[in-house]
A and B are shown apart, each in its own frame.
Chain A
Amino acid sequence: MNALLTKLGEAVEAGKVDKNSPFPPQLKGEDGADELASQALTEGVAPNDILTEALVPAMDRVGQKFSENKIFVPQMLMSAKAMGAAMTHLKPFFQSGDVQTKGTFIIGTVKGDLHDIGKNLVAMMVEGGGWTIIDLGVDVNEDTFNQAISDNPGAVVGLSALLTTTMANMEEIVGKIKGVHPETKILVGGAPLNDDFRSKIGADFYSPDPRGAVEYLKELVA
């Protein structure tokens, strides 16, 4: 594999955004994901290879470490930020069709709930898994979800709830989505949830961590 891609993967895994970013201290002054992605493109590496050989495996390693409690939210967000810096260089190729994403993932925190850290982590990890993300934000109702699905046929949906009181809203939204788009796959997550609840409300998949969602989506399009 291209040495630049290996370095880029390592930069993303370590959360090194660009040359000037102070974090992590041991990579001070070195090129970050921003510079490395740009260099790779200049050297003629195919944008799709940058995504699938550097970014996706790096975020996969990050997800693995997170689910093993080896890293925590701040490190994961730094990695996601580094990935985002690399992605900005790839964005034009997504739009031109030179890079194929695996699909579209619509995500939002259910109505009545304002928590967005978990939702953002999942969005970043799924994006790192090679998906196009449509983030509807927090306090999202069923109509907004259904509209987004109509606008993006074949999209997969992720619902987040962090309060036991808003889990009831999640149930309602799953019902309303399945009512209009019965074929749409729905993933659910959030601290108070479990797989029993997932099955009770008729959603398709639950994972206690973002990595599970990425794995499930990978299977879905395999």
Chain B
Amino acid sequence: MGTVSIRLTPLGKELKVKKGTSLIDVLHEYGVEFPCGGKGSCGKCAVKLLQGEIVCDTIHLNAIRKLGLGSDWRLACLSNAEEDLVLEVGQFEAMIQADETPFEYVPAQGYGVAVDLGTTSLVAQLVELNTAKVLAVETGLNPQRKHGSDLISRLEHALSHGSAGLERMIRNELGKMLSKLLRGRHIDPDKVLLVGNTAMQHLFSGLDIKPLSYYPFESPRLEAREFSAKDLEWDIKCNHIRFCPSIGSFVGSDILAGIFATGMWKKEAYSVLVDLGTNGEIVVGNRERLLCASTAAGPAFEGSRISSGMLATTGAISSVEGKADGITCKVIGNTPARGICGSGLIDAVAVLLDRGKLGEFGEILSGEDHVILQGEVGLIQKDIQEFQLAKAAIAAGLFILLRKLGIKNEDVADIYIAGAFGTYINLTNMLRTGMMDFPMEGFHKLGNSALMGAKMLLFTDSSTEENILSVCQHVNLESEADFQDIFVEQLSFNQSSS
């Protein structure tokens, strides 16, 4: 009997299994849960078939139809691996947030749609403009991910294969999401606002991405883009579809929306906004001037560069606590640990530092090449180093922006942590690692500030965007002469005070 391979995206895992193996036996390890016990009734184990074929019997076909899934979906509990497969493990969607925090607004007529077009995830909210009520939410994953999970590999794909394919992919996917969002409601939205990073804006709008790919990294096409549903070949009626303007080549309208959501552009006191997503954007300033930059911090927090790194799904160590008798870990789903996610990584590093297990340079002091956290899951020396690179990127970015404004850490009144991952981090531990250095009481966890800002922007006209943009200034951190020195300095940890 031969073996077949199963590749799981976006986890990036490749498994070799015996031909004919039931997916229920294999996928449980990777965060796919089977609440109905494999009867095909709950749909929680649905996976998207990207390559290869899983032949369905009548029961399977009926189950898929009943759950309203598309023809490319399969229920893992009813599937066997008969050939090489590529599967999208959609359970990741649980992480995607749809925010409903209340805000001030001027009621208007009609309906609007706010879309957060992320590098990884997509969220669309249908909003009633008279009440600011969110009537429906649709989430999805950016289909461009199969051409790279980070921006640079996405841009590289566009450079070598042209960007038309990526453009079509994202337009189609969002078109489908919006149709679903409006289905059965007899509503034609008056406007659709999209926010996203600059690369997403370029790829969606069909703009040349070359200027984003090479030094000096300056695109001439940062302005807002207007479309009609017809332009985009969307199956809805709307003539005012707008991709909001980007701030700079690496800081997009998602951050513009975040700035709007925090109100930091109207305050006299200084604020900091840090988005701990794939790109790690930072904004520092007040109503006079907002300095914006991006850092390469994401990969470590999203698990992709960590040996046992994983997304925040079943089996991930999500938090770590130091106790008198050792280290205790909280594992999502209360199962044995099989990996660690971003929030767990920050905790682990902080706890290991406090317990004197790591030195000033992140070296594992026991002399061994790894530290065990729970069961088989631990961190190797290289994982600690990846974390150091990520935290130093944020810390150095903050240092440079504060210095450029001529202000000190204690001059900052409010620190906003955006991004889904930011919601789950333990601030005390994050501060312990030296990633940021602000008093605890100044922190606010925002969740998806891009979506929230986009929703709020539905109630304004474009002059608001212009007002925010007029105080924003894009900073290229790496062109600062002493960036390297500052970055290297921030790679180290403060020694334990105890």
Interface residues of A (CB under 8 A from B): 69-75, 77, 111-117, 120, 139, 163-166, 168-169
Contacts and interface: CB of A to CB of B under 8 A. Distances in A.
A141 B381 CA distance: 36
Given A73-B488, A116-B484, A139 B381 contact: no
Interface of B: 152-153, 155-156, 159, 213-215, 361-363, 369, 380-382, 385, 388, 478-479, 484, 487-489, 491-492
A141 B478 CA distance: 19
A79 B465 CA distance: 50
A74 B478 contact: no
A69 B370 CA distance: 11
A171 to B, nearest CB: 12
B381 A112 contact: no
Contact of B153 (A75, A111, A164, A169): A164
A165 B159 contact: yes
24 contacts: A69-B369, A69-B381, A69-B382, A70-B363, A70-B381, A71-B361, A72-B491, A74-B361, A74-B488, A74-B492, A75-B361, A75-B363, A77-B488, A111-B214, A112-B215, A113-B214, A117-B487, A120-B484, A163-B152, A163-B213, A164-B152, A165-B155, A165-B156, A165-B213
A71 B215 contact: no
B214 A112 contact: yes
Contact of A72 (B152, B214, B380, B388): B388
A166 B363 contact: no
B363 A139 contact: no
A72 B361 contact: yes
Contacts of B487: 117
B420 to A, nearest CB: 26
Given A139-B215, A165-B214, A166-B214, A72 B478 contact: no
Given A111-B214, A165-B159, 18 more contacts: A72-B385, A72-B388, A72-B491, A73-B491, A74-B491, A74-B492, A75-B361, A112-B213, A112-B214, A113-B215, A114-B478, A114-B479, A116-B484, A163-B152, A164-B153, A164-B156, A166-B214, A168-B159
Contacts of A70: 363, 381
Looking at chain B's contact residues, the main secondary structure is helix
Contacts of A75: 361, 363
A117 B484 contact: yes
B401 to A, nearest CB: 18
Nearest to A65: B363
Nearest to B160: A168
A69 B381 CA distance: 6
B306 to A, nearest CB: 14
Contacts of A169: 214
A165 B363 contact: no
A219 B118 CA distance: 49
Contacts of A74: 361, 488-489, 491-492
B488 to A, nearest CB: 6
A98 B385 CA distance: 41
A19 B3 CA distance: 63
A168 B83 CA distance: 36
Contacts of B214: 111-113, 165-166, 169
Given A112-B215, A114-B479, A120-B484, A71 B363 contact: yes
B484 A72 contact: no
A72 B215 contact: no
Nearest to A15: B361
Nearest to B150: A164
A139 B216 CA distance: 10
Contacts of A112: 213-215
B135 to A, nearest CB: 41
Contact of A115 (B213, B380, B478): B478
A120 B484 CA distance: 10
| Residue from the set B153, B156, B361 with the largest chain A CB neighbour count within 10 Å | B361
Contacts of A69: 369, 380-382, 385
A168 B382 CA distance: 28
Contacts of A163: 152, 213
B163 to A, nearest CB: 13
Nearest to B214: A112
Contacts of B385: 69, 72-73
Nearest to B367: A70
A201 B28 CA distance: 43
Question: 10 closest Cβ contacts across the A-B interface?
Answer: A112-B214, A165-B213, A164-B156, A69-B381, A114-B478, A112-B215, A74-B491, A69-B382, A72-B385, A75-B361
Contacts of A168: 159
Contacts of B489: 74
Nearest to A112: B214
B478 A165 contact: no
A117 B487 CA distance: 10
A38 B159 CA distance: 54
B215 A111 contact: yes
A183 B156 CA distance: 31
Given A72-B363, A112-B215, A139-B215, A117 B152 contact: no
A210 to B, nearest CB: 15
Contacts of B155: 165
A201 to B, nearest CB: 14
A77 B213 CA distance: 29
Contacts of B380: 69
A193 B268 CA distance: 47
A70 B152 CA distance: 29
B486 to A, nearest CB: 12
B298 to A, nearest CB: 15
Contacts of B381: 69-70
Contacts of A164: 152-153, 156
A71 B369 CA distance: 11
Interface centre among A71, A73, A113, A116 (most CB of B within 10 A): A73
Contacts of B369: 69
A74 B359 CA distance: 12
A120 B485 CA distance: 12
A15 B222 CA distance: 46
Nearest to A167: B156
A164 B159 CA distance: 10
A163 B159 CA distance: 13
A74 B214 CA distance: 28
Contacts of A165: 152, 155-156, 159, 213-214
B364 to A, nearest CB: 9
Nearest to B210: A165
A112 B492 CA distance: 29
Contacts of A114: 215, 478-479
